[in-house]
């Protein structure tokens, strides 16, 4: 089946709500509506920006969607500093990243917690973008496919096949994030193909065929075309390049198959 490419901009801890409005306005202005027939585009800003973006997207009826970068596994309660799935749903979030390597590294998130967050997102109709990826030493030892496979299945544990349809998987090799070292298209395809294969074995070919598998790690307008040309790479989770309107627009247009606007 032909999966529609998907480009998600993970802003990480960048841009206040005023800067967020300016960036989304620029993207909306420079990427004409016709491109959205061929590519889905989302931005994933910090929590403090989401309400402003919701107002802008709703007010101007933009085709771009948005989401968050994390959520609590709980729906409400005494969890100081956390933000819940129902809160994100109320803000119109379509997506939430879960299991990003920066959360695994700086907040000690393990596969069990990541799995709880995946379930919390699905419960409230927010699609989780489940990130998996190996560190450099794992790749050098040749363990990358096995490592990502394990992270994927551990986070999806307990889900019904029907629920897995709504999960987006993102393969983000840790050594390629923010380093300018992009995995070659062949390296990325090897893992994305294996992840889709694991989904097919566990949940059936039909579901595996539908799930979008993204690549992330130093994606730019200069390398997006060869990545999305791979059979099993359905788009990208973009960090640094998603903070520049012109570069991000170019990248989205190329993922749509061009031409540049």
Ligand X SMILES: O=C(CO)COP(=O)(O)O
String of DSSP letters for 94-146:
-EEEES-HHHHHHS---HHHHHHHHHHHHHTT-EEEEEE---HHHHHTT-HHH
Q: Which of 112, 238, 97, 106 is nearest to 169 (CA)?
A: 97
Query: Considering beta carbons, is residue 100 or 116 the nearer one to ligand X?
Result: 100
Closest approach of ligand X to the CB of residue 24, in Å: 18
Lay out the site mask for ligand X across 66-105 (x = CB under 6 A, - = otherwise). ----------------------------------x-----
Exposure string (b/e) for 177-201, b if CB count within 10 Å is 16 or more? beeeebbebebbbbbbbbbbebbee
- Tell which one of 20, 50, 152, 237 touches ligand X (CB under 6 A): 237
137 is catalytic: no
Query: What are the Cα distances from residue 238, in Å, to 41, 82, 157, 252?
Result: 11, 24, 27, 10
19 is catalytic: no
Distance between CA 186 and CA 199 in Å, rounded?
20
Q: Does 132 bind ligand X (CB under 6 A)?
A: no
Largest interatomic CA distance in the chain? 51
- Torsion angle defined by CA atoms of residues 52, 21, 170 and 97, in that order, rounded to the nearest 10 degrees: -20
Closest approach of ligand X to the CB of residue 168, in Å: 12
Query: What are the Cα distances from residue 31, in Å, to 25, 47, 162, 239?
Result: 10, 24, 33, 19
- Tell which one of 40, 172, 189, 234 touches ligand X (CB under 6 A): 172
Closest approach of ligand X to the CB of residue 10, in Å: 4
Closest approach of ligand X to the CB of residue 237, in Å: 4
Q: Are 164 and 211 in contact (CB under 8 A)?
A: yes
- Tell which one of 42, 93, 177, 245 touches ligand X (CB under 6 A): 177
- Tell which one of 178, 204, 222, 258 touches ligand X (CB under 6 A): 178
Q: Does 238 bind ligand X (CB under 6 A)?
A: yes
Among 100, 102, 134, 147, the active-site one is 100
Q: Residues annotated in the binding site for substrate, as ranges?
A: 10-12, 178, 218, 239-240
Q: Which of 15, 81, 85 is nearest to 53 (CA)?
A: 15
Query: Considering beta carbons, is residue 104 or 203 the nearer one to ligand X?
Result: 104
Closest approach of ligand X to the CB of residue 71, in Å: 16
Lay out the site mask for ligand X across 15-44 (x = CB under 6 A, - = otherwise). ------------------------------
Which are the catalytic amino acids? Answer: 100, 172
Contact residues for ligand X, defined by CB under 6 A: 10, 100, 172, 177-178, 216-219, 237-241
């Amino acid at each position: 089946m032909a999966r529609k490419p998907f480009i998600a901009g993970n802003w990480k801890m960048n841009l206040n709500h005023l800067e967020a409005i300016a960036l989304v306005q620029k993207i909306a202005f420079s990427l004409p509506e016709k491109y959205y027939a061929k590519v889905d585009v989302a931005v994933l800003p910090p929590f403090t920006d989401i309400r402003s973006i919701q107002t802008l997207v709703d007010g101007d009826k933009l085709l771009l969607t948005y989401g968050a970068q994390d959520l609590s596994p709980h729906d409400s309660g005494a969890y100081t500093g956390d933000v819940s799935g129902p809160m994100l749903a109320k803000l119109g979030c379509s997506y939430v990243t879960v299991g990003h390597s920066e959360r695994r590294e700086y907040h000690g998130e393990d596969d069990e917690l990541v799995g709880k967050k995946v379930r919390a997102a699905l419960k409230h109709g927010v699609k989780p973008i489940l990130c998996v990826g190996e560190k450099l030493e794992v790749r050098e030892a040749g363990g990358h496919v096995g490592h990502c496979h394990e992270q994927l299945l551990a986070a999806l544990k307990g889900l019904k096949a029907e629920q897995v349809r709504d999960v987006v998987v993102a393969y983000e090799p840790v050594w390629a994030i923010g380093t300018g070292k992009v995995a070659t298209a062949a390296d990325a395809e090897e893992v994305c193909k294996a992840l889709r294969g694991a989904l097919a074995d566990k949940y059936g070919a039909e579901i595996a065929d539908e799930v979008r598998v993204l690549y992330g790690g130093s994606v730019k307008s200069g390398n997006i075309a060869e990545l999305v040309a791979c059979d099993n790479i359905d788009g990208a989770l973009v960090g640094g390049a998603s903070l520049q309107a012109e570069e991000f627009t170019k990248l989205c247009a190329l993922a749509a198959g061009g031409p540049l606007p």
